[in-house]
Amino acid sequence: MTPLLSIVIITAIALAGSVFFNRFHISSWWMKGLAYSGLLYVLMGCLSGPEVLHILTVKVLDGLNILVTLVLGWVGFLVGLQTKYRGLKRFPLKYYLNGFINYLIAFVLSFTLLSLTSYLLKLNFLEIRDIFILSLTGAISSPIIIGSLLKNERVHAKLSYWLQFNAAFDNLLGVVSIGIWFSLFTYLKLDGQAGIKILRVVIPLLVAGMGYIIYRTLFDLLKSRQERLILNLGSLLVVVGTAYYYGQSILFVSFVFGSILANSRINTRALYRSVQDIEKPLYILLLFFAGAYFSVSPSKNLILLIGLYFGTHFISKIFMGPISNRSHLIREKVPVWIGIGNIGMGGLSLAMIIEYFLLSGAGPNGLLLSVLILSILINDLIAFRYLQGVVVIGSRVKKNLLSIK
Amino acid sequence: MKKSITTILLLVLFILIRRFAPPSDHVLHAQSAVLTGIVLLSAYLLALLLKNVKLPKLTGYMILGVLIGPVGLNFLDHSVLDSLRFLEDLALAFIALTAGGELKYERFRQRAKTVLSLLTGQMAVVFTGLFFTLFFFASHIPFLSDLPEDIIIGLSILFAGTALSTSPATTIGIITEFKSKGKMTDIVLAVTVLKSIMVVLLFPLIMAWAKIYLIAGTSINYELLKTVGVQIVGSIVIGIAIGYIIITYLKYVQIERSLFLLGVSIVIIEVSALVHVEILLTSIIAGIVVENFSRKGEDLIENIEKSSLPLYIIFFSFAGAGLHLDTIQKALGLTALLVILRMLFLYLGNITGAVLAKEDGDIKKLSWLGFVGQAGIALGLATIIENTFPGAVGTTFKTILISSVVINELMGPVFFKYILIKTRETTEGI
């Protein structure tokens, strides 16, 4: 297909999508769910990618590598920025304990079930590290769905508040887990003396600390909006580039950087303002890249793995309701099937899988990414539908549904 | 003090990061990411430092590029520069879109006579002046003195042709940096953009003409001219199409405009590579279409400017890293001569144009200083010449040309800033 025709098609999709979502009131729950999950951007990425219209060829994607790295860094950085101690202190300890137990159970169950079925069904195309990363992505949930409901509907306040905390906390645990995993992986993979190996694991974290010193020094010097953009982009690129250089998790190292900044004397409100400007475009880019890497042709392995992943994911999350009820988190009872509302996945899981491909060199057109994208769509729809029934108690004036966050 | 210490700290940090890094498959990409971060911060800090000695920030970015480029510390070596070429193209597309977007016909209508006169005067006088000077005084110029007459004519055509090129990126960069507004700003920008378009259009013809003298048995290659013609028309058609796509998007879609422009720039780069058209020309045309055929020109500029600073830093630092300062010493005399001659004929051409347009005052006396800068196009042309004429002649020509571009590019922003301050079209940086 000619590039010009491709441009026309993509623009037409963007226009049609935008006009559709902006001008018409969408009452169908599944259309809302698809809009919340960012389907349009995944679809556009997929259409632009090497397998369909060839606008984003493999060469272009290679050239955009630095942008992908930056997007991953930004995702981790934002999670880190939310870990201000004063803010975390506001939540009761039982919230953390409950969140941690839910996360642990989801991960362990997911990993065990996936390993077991993979062994029994002789799924040789799945390596143990693939199962590990799938289980990690399965253990986290999407804060976006509940956030969107909070923004656009009248909701059950305490339940939504707890659910949002839970989603944010398992995202944090997910980033920390992938960080630990990559550190161990790098340590075991490297040759040489133990001292050098430890140094190579630690250096990216030291650079994150150094990045803070540089950031702190320049924060008062670079004050305009454009200068703050330079400061944020520059320091983050140094930090994420170092993580990438040393084979460490970009998400984790940038999370550490964000966390240090959040807990420093820097005015985080000003920092948030400057960071927020670029948050949404970068998240859309993430969806777009994921779409571009998506393998379009359906295969037996893909269908099998989606089924398997969905099944294990569902089972591993279903215990959330009963466990949470035992912890007496909120005055009312948590719905027993609340785990269904927690199977939505969202941006971080995509970021984790893209990082896995980037660092392990497994190639972008991977089966896992396709599984994850399709699972996000399916899971987000189910989670959205379920939460709508449980959490929503009335409706507000509709806003632009493409405003994901 | 803070600025200089932090700049040094950043460079030392990179040395340490590189020193202990384990071997891996993605070293180049990772190194490129770290270096882009270091360039963004240290180039800007250096630019702030140089502001104290009244140098424009663009010069600071370029100096940082030279410092860490292949002739300096070699952090930004050729492999890294190649891997980040895409980013540089992206910046160029954005800058050229801005340049086109600044050209509002209504604003220039009243100055059209001056713009066209200056353009004609400069192009005619610089080309003919340089050509005849080099041709008639060839026996006194070391590189040319021993060559046969045909070769001297061919090389004089090429020297004169490449001297026409100018740097729209520098012009728009300085205008953005100093937020300048006024007659001088409008005229320098318009002439620069139009001259860049003319150079892109004329250079294939100049090359074909020079080839007749440089390569025995060559005649005008009409097939080549046809191909070039198709490419130029292609650039214009694609530029217009993209311009209308931008207008439609800005008009009907109210979301993520900056992201859309990023996508458009990627499309421009890809399409340009696929159908062999000029990124610069296509982007300028697209910008002109948006500015002049819709009410969305302001929107376009506003959305680009939101993220323009990192792009300028990247573009000019990489341009600095790409400057072959080491070549200057190889042909210092001839380079100096070429630079002086170009400036002399630029001055004379400008005076001629100003007289024709009945312009007096600053436009007549000073505006030529706004056209000294040379960049990407001239470097690209030098490479084309080297490839077209392999061997000692091509290489020496490239060396001389690149050296003169280095000097012109470093002086260009300083001169342009000087005239903006002198004409009081900016209050920044005084």
Residues of B whose CB is below 8 A from A207: 13, 17
Q: Do B242 and A230 touch (CB under 8 A)?
A: no
pLDDT at A397 over 50: no
pLDDT of residue A241: 94
Q: How confident is the model at residue A112 (pLDDT cuts 50, 70, 90)?
A: very high
A210 in Cβ contact with B13 (< 8 Å): yes
A12 or B311: which leads in pLDDT:
B311
- Cβ separation of B29 and A65 shorter than 8 Å? yes
Nearest to A244 among B33, B83, B256 (CB): B33
Pull the structure tokens for residue B212.
């007749």
Choose the weakest-confidence range: A384-398, B158-172, B183-197. Answer: A384-398
Mutation to test the A interface, candidates B27, B51, B266, B428, most A Cβ within 10 Å: B266
CA distance B179 to chain A (A): 14
pLDDT at A400: 44
- Give the model's confidence band at B388: pLDDT under 50 very low, under 70 low, under 90 confident, else very high: low
Q: What confidence category does residue A135 fall into, taking pLDDT thresholds of 50, 70 and 90? A: very high
Min CA distance, A349 vs chain B (Å)? 22
Asked if the model's pLDDT at residue A209 lies above 60, the reply is yes
Percent of chain B topping pLDDT 90:
17
B211-218: average pLDDT: 74
Cβ within 8 Å, pair A233-B44: no
B37, A57: Cβ pair inside 8 Å? no
Highest mean pLDDT among A36-40, A108-112, A118-122, A385-389: A108-112
pLDDT of B426 strictly over 60: yes
Q: Which residue has the higher pLDDT, A403 or A179?
A: A179
* Candidate from A22, A190, A237 with C-beta closest to B33: A237
In the structure encoding, which two tokens stand for residue A68, read together?
């992908």
Query: How much is the pLDDT for A17?
Result: 58
Report the range of poorest mean pLDDT among A20-24, B22-26, B120-124. Answer: A20-24
- Interface with A, mutate which of B10, B14, B19, B26 (most A CBs under 10 A): B26
Place of tokens 């190579």: A200
pLDDT at B346 over 90: yes
Count of other CB atoms within 10 angstroms of residue A209:
12
Average pLDDT over residues B51-57: 80
pLDDT at position A365 over 60? no
What span, in angstroms and rounded, lies between the C-alpha atoms of B196 and A226?
Answer: 29
Please check whether residue A361 is in contact with residue B26, taking contact to mean a CB–CB distance below 8 angstroms: yes
Nearest to A11 among B6, B34, B245 (CB): B245
Q: How far apart are CA A42 and CA A63, in angstroms?
A: 20
Residues of A in contact with B236 (CB under 8 A): none
CB-count burial class (<10 Å; 0-12, 13-18, 19+) for B311: buried
Question: Which residue on chain A is closest to B256 by alpha carbon?
Answer: A281
Given a cut of 70, whether residue B421 has pLDDT beyond it is yes
Q: Which one of A52-61, A147-156, A367-376, B110-119 scores highest in mean pLDDT?
A: B110-119
Pairwise CA distance, residues B67 & A38, whole Å: 44
What is d(CA A161, CA A156) in angstroms, rounded to the nearest whole number? Answer: 8
Contact (CB<8Å) A244/B26: yes
> DSSP labels for A289-311?
HHHHH---S--HHHHHHHHHHHH
Flag if A56 and B25 touch (Cβ within 8 Å).
no
Q: Select the more confidently predicted residue: A297 or B138.
A: B138
Mutate to test the interface with B, among A65, A246, A276, A404 (most CBs of B within 10 A): A65
Mutate to test the interface with B, among A226, A250, A276, A280 (most CBs of B within 10 A): A226
* Token pair of B60 as six digits: 């600071």
CATH of domain B91-422: 1.20.1530.20
pLDDT band at A179 (very low <50, low <70, confident <90, very high): very high
Residue A68 has pLDDT above 70, yes or no: yes
Q: Which of A3, A242, A281 sits opposite B34 (nearest CB)?
A: A242
Cα nearest neighbour of B35 on chain A: A238
For chain A, percent of residues with pLDDT exceeding 70: 80
When pLDDT is cut at 50, 70 and 90, the band that residue A404 belongs to is very low
Mean pLDDT over A19-45 rounds to 65
Q: Which domains does chain A have, with CATH numbers?
A: 65-147+156-276+296-394 (1.20.1530)
Name which of B2, B21, B36 is nearest A66 (Cβ-Cβ): B36
Pairwise CB contact (< 8 Å): A200 & B37: no
The residue of chain B nearest to residue A213, with distances taken between CA atoms, is B6
Nearest CA in chain B to A357: B26
Give the minimum alpha-carbon distance from B409 to chain A in angstroms, rounded to a whole number.
Answer: 24
Find the closest chain B residue to A54 by CA distance: B270
Q: Note every long-range contact of B203-210, with CB atoms under 8 Å and residues 24 or more positions apart, other chains counting.
A: B203/B161, B203/B381, B204/B228, B206/B157, B206/B158, B206/B161, B207/B158, B207/B161, B207/B384, B207/B385, B207/B388, B209/B157, B210/B154, B210/B155, B210/B157, B210/B158, B210/B161
Q: Please say whether the beta carbons of A281 and B258 come within 8 A.
A: yes
Q: What is the pLDDT of residue A26?
A: 57
Nearest-angstrom CA–CA distance, A389 and B154: 80
Question: pLDDT at position A401, please?
Answer: 41
Residue B21 has pLDDT above 60, yes or no: yes
Say if residue A16 is exposed, middle or buried (CB neighbours under 10 Å; 0-12, 13-18, 19+). Answer: exposed
Select from A43, A73, A55, A15 the least CA-distant residue to A354. A73
Contact (CB<8Å) B274/A3: yes
Report H helices in B332-391: 332-356, 362-365, 376-388
User: Is residue B407 scored above 80 in pLDDT?
Assistant: yes
Say yes or no to pLDDT of B217 above 80: no
Give the model confidence (pLDDT) of B300-324 as tens digits. Answer: 777 777 777 888 898 888 888 877 7
Closest CA to B410 of B347, B324, B305, B344: B324
User: Angle, nearest 10°, between helix axes A194-219 and B2-20?
Assistant: 160
pLDDT digits (tens, 9 = 90+) for A230-246: 998 999 999 999 999 99
The nearest CA of chain B is from the CA of A6 a distance in Å of: 10
In degrees, rounded to 5, the angle at the alpha carbon of residue B203 between the alpha carbons of residues B199 and B206 is 130
Q: Higher-confidence residue: A177 or B181?
A: A177
Q: Mean pLDDT of all residues in chain B? A: 83
pLDDT, position B43: 93
Shortest distance, CA A45 to any CA of chain B (angstroms): 11
**Of the candidates B159, B166, B157, B163, the residue with the CA atom closest to the CA atom of residue B206:** B157
Q: How confident is the model at residue B33 (pLDDT cuts 50, 70, 90)?
A: very high
d(CA B166, CA A314): 63
pLDDT at A13 (0 to 100):
57
CB burial of residue B139 (10 Å; 0-12, 13-18, 19+)? exposed
Which carries the bigger pLDDT value, residue A165 or residue A399?
Answer: A165
pLDDT at A116 over 90: yes
Q: Give the pLDDT mean for A213-237.
A: 88
The CB density around residue A207, as the number of other CB atoms within 10 Å, is: 27
Which pLDDT does position A363 carry in this prediction? 47
Q: How many pairs of residues across A and B have Cβ atoms under 8 Å apart?
A: 165
Q: Do B245 and A55 touch (CB under 8 A)?
A: no
| Minimum-distance CB partner of A284 among B9, B252, B256 | B256
Residues of A in contact with B252 (CB under 8 A): 15, 18-19
> Looking at CA atoms only, how far is residue B286 from chain A in angstroms?
14
How do A153-155 and A392-395 pair as beta strands?
antiparallel
CB contact under 8 A, A57 and B27: no
* Count of beta carbons in the 10 Å neighbourhood of residue B240: 16
Chain A positions touching B270 (Cβ under 8 A) are 3, 55, 57, 60
User: What distance in Å separates residue B429's CA from the closest CA in chain A?
Assistant: 16
Of A57, A281, A358, the CB nearest to B256: A281
Residue whose C-alpha is closest to residue A34's, from A381, A362, A292: A381
Domain boundaries, chain B: 2-83, 91-422
Question: Mean pLDDT across the stretch B79-98?
Answer: 84
From residue A130, give the alpha-carbon distance in Å to each of A134, A334, A365, B242. 6, 33, 14, 42
Which tens digit of pLDDT belongs to each residue from A85-101?
888 888 888 888 888 98
pLDDT of amino acid A2: 47
Question: Residue B70 corresponds to which tokens in the numbers above?
Answer: 């292949």
Q: How many CB atoms are closer than 10 A to CB B274?
A: 14
- Between the two ends of chain A, the Cα-to-Cα distance in Å is 35
Q: pLDDT tens across B103-118, in order?
A: 888 877 888 889 999 9
ipTM over 0.90: no
Does A1 score more than 50 pLDDT? no
From B3, B13, B270, residue closest to A3, measured CB to CB: B270
Confidence at A180, pLDDT banded by 50, 70, 90: very high
* Least reliable range by pLDDT among A21-35, A226-240, B49-63, B237-251: A21-35
**pLDDT for residue A126 is more than 90:** no
DSSP 8-class letter at A110: H
* A66 closest CB neighbour out of B20, B29, B306: B29
Q: How far is CA A342 from the centre of its chain?
A: 14
